[in-house]
């Protein structure tokens, strides 16, 4: 699949991971706003080009392990993300809905190598049990909020992330970045990868 896409220079249509309904036939620009301190209304707000909230992320505050739940605008859980305990590569598992059952696993994300100067993460879909070759890859510098999302080990980009500065966000202690999701690519899937990237980076800083 990745080789064919790389040859054509565009992702195949469509590329659903969470759901077909999240694959738009056009570019989907998202803005991810991370709140500095949040105990009630979520850690992240993800808005569309019009500023409307499309996704929210809530965390388990007093939990033994890192766990996040991705909600739609109505507050319904779409995905749950959980860090694997004692994982050497900061491995995260993502499940459908509010579940953590193995039967509901959608994909896993882990660092490509334990020691990294630049950001590099591998994404494996649930069906890829051997995990010899990744289904998606993230490369760049999360410190600069500049990362690209690729189909497998190909040069086919499916999304891109860049930092956004606004005076009000700097004053309010908010970290804001823009995510451009390419046509036919699952934007909920990409948004989830951005949240996991932030978690891995935060762990490293802590």
pLDDT per position as a tens digit, 49-60: 999 999 999 876
| Separation of alpha carbons 179 and 89, rounded Å | 24
pLDDT at 126 over 90: yes
Across the strands, what pairs with 186? Answer: 23
CATH, domain range 2-205? 2.40.160.200
Decide if 9 contacts 156 (C-beta within 8 A). yes
> What's this model's pTM, rounded to 2 decimal places?
0.85
Decide if 161 contacts 150 (C-beta within 8 A). no
Alpha helices in the chain (DSSP H): 2-8, 167-171, 187-205
pLDDT at 39 over 80: no
- Give me the pLDDT at residue 60, please: 62
What is the pLDDT averaged over residues 123-148? 91
Neighbours of 79 (CB within 10 A): 27
Decide if 19 contacts 96 (C-beta within 8 A). no
Render pLDDT for 147-199 as a digit per residue (tens, 0 to 9). Answer: 999 999 999 999 999 877 655 555 555 678 899 999 999 999 999 999 998 88
Neighbours of 142 (CB within 10 A): 21
What is the pLDDT averaged over residues 71-99? 88
Burial class (CB in 10 A: 0-12, 13-18, 19+), 165: exposed
Give domain limits for the chain: 2-205
**Beta-carbon-side half-sphere exposure of residue 169 (alpha carbons within 13 Å):** 14
User: What rounded mean pLDDT belongs to the chain?
Assistant: 82
């Amino acid at each position: 699949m990745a080789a064919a896409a790389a040859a054509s220079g565009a992702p195949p249509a469509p590329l659903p991971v969470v759901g077909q309904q999240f694959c738009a036939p056009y570019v989907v620009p998202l803005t991810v706003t991370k709140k500095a301190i949040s105990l009630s209304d979520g850690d992240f707000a993800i808005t569309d080009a019009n500023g409307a909230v499309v996704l929210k992320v809530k965390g388990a505050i007093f939990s033994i392990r890192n766990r996040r739940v991705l909600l739609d605008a109505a507050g319904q859980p779409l995905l749950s993300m959980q860090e694997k305990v004692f994982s050497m590569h900061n491995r995260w598992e993502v499940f459908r809905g509010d579940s953590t059952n193995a039967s509901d696993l959608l994909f896993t994300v882990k660092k490509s190598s334990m020691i990294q100067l630049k950001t590099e993460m591998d994404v494996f879909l649930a069906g890829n049990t051997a995990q010899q070759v990744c289904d998606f890859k993230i490369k760049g510098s999360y410190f600069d909020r500049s990362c690209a999302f690729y189909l497998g080990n190909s040069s086919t980009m499916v999304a891109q992330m860049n930092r956004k500065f606004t005076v009000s966000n700097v004053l309010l202690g908010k970290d804001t970045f823009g995510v451009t999701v390419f046509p036919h690519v699952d934007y909920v899937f990409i948004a989830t990868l951005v949240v996991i990237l932030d978690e891995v980076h935060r762990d490293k800083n802590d």
